[in-house]
Amino acid sequence: MQTPGYEIIIVALLVCTIGATTLVSFAVMFLYRHKLILLDHWKTIEKIKQFNESRLLKSQIEIQEQTFQNISREIHDNINQILTLAKFHLRSLNVDYEENECKLIESSIELIGEAINDLTDISRSLSSDLIRNNGLIKALEFEVDRVNNSTKFEVKLEIWGNSRFIEAETEIIIFRIIQEALSNAIRHSNGNVFLIMLKFTNNDLQLEMLDNGVGFDFTKIRNESTNSSGLNNMFKRVEFLNGEFIIDSNIGNGTLIKASIPIC
């Protein structure tokens, strides 16, 4: 037969066990809720960070685009006018010159005329009006013709699939990505062929740009701020469009640049 003292001990142990279990449960619930609050807090911070980074990236792109617009306007409104006036003055000369001097003047007039045409094309290429008024494909065709006519590079443009409607601002950014890649190839690749491929799918635009140049060590270039600025510009623009950006380049094997940009 159990004594009353033994029963009291059993009851006390049960009470302590229940109390301890309750305390542990409360502690676990508190820690869990605290963890959820912390996760929520970090998610909020991450969203704010991403939002601020997106705003900063957008501001940088807008500043760059405004710079292009200003340069385009300066070329069109001032430099072209000065050259046109110089050309007019040379044609207006009525003084008798030797034959060689006349040929030199005519040659100068032709060179000024070529410079005016080249600067007009550059001005159009820098202006976003070219894309806004004609669309991405027509703007790229103009850029390809401009480079083919003014450099030793052979630029080819291939369009795969049915072109889709893309917002003008997105088209401008895509155009600048291609323009940057082409400019880098002309300046650094030591090649003579540049292929641009646009592949339209149901959900995205797949962009591939390939040159037959000397290639480069991507890891090394990426760590050099001066040489990697063009690559960074392309990467930031693709990132702003929520796309994916890949560079495949090795010394002696040319460079392949890929970008996948959602357009649905």
CATH of the domain at 212: 3.30.565.10
Q: Flag whether 150 is in a domain.
A: yes
- Residue bearing the bigger pLDDT, 129 or 175: 175
Lowest mean pLDDT among 89-93, 142-146, 191-195, 233-237: 89-93
| pLDDT above 90: residue 194 | yes
Q: Flag whether 215 is in a domain.
A: yes
Q: What does the pLDDT average to over 95-121? A: 73
pLDDT score recorded for residue 226: 54
Q: Flag whether 176 is in a domain.
A: yes
pLDDT score recorded for residue 261: 92
**Closest Cα partner for 256 from 39, 264, 247?**
247
Q: Flag whether 253 is in a domain.
A: yes
pLDDT score recorded for residue 130: 85
| pLDDT above 70: residue 170 | yes
Q: Flag whether 102 is in a domain.
A: no
Q: Flag whether 254 is in a domain.
A: yes
pLDDT band with cut points at 50, 70 and 90 for residue 262: very high
pLDDT band with cut points at 50, 70 and 90 for residue 209: very high
* Structural domain for 211, as ranges: 135-264
Q: Flag whether 88 is in a domain.
A: no
pLDDT score recorded for residue 50: 60
Q: What is the rounded CA–CA span in Å between residue 211 and residue 215?
A: 8
Return the top range by mean pLDDT from 2-16, 96-110, 190-204.
Answer: 190-204
Query: What digits encode the pLDDT tens for the residues 137-150?
Result: 999 999 999 899 88
- 3-state SS of the chain is CCCHHHHHHHHHHHHHHHHHHHHHHHHHHHHHHHHHHHHHHHHHHHHHHHHHHHHHHHHHHHHHHHHHHHHHHHHHHHHHHHHHHHHHHHHHCCCCCCHHHHHHHHHHHHHHHHHHHHHHHHHHHHCCHHHHHHHHHHHHHHHHHHHHHHCCCEEEEEEECCCCCCCHHHHHHHHHHHHHHHHHHHHHHCCCEEEEEEEECCCEEEEEEEECCCCCCHHHHHCCCCCCHHHHHHHHHHHHCCCEEEEEECCCCCEEEEEEEECC
Query: What digits encode the pLDDT tens for the residues 37-96?
Result: 666 666 665 666 666 566 667 666 677 777 777 777 777 667 767 777 776 667 776 666
pLDDT score recorded for residue 198: 95
- Residue bearing the bigger pLDDT, 97 or 184: 184
Q: Flag whether 80 is in a domain.
A: no
The total number of structural domains that make up the chain: 1
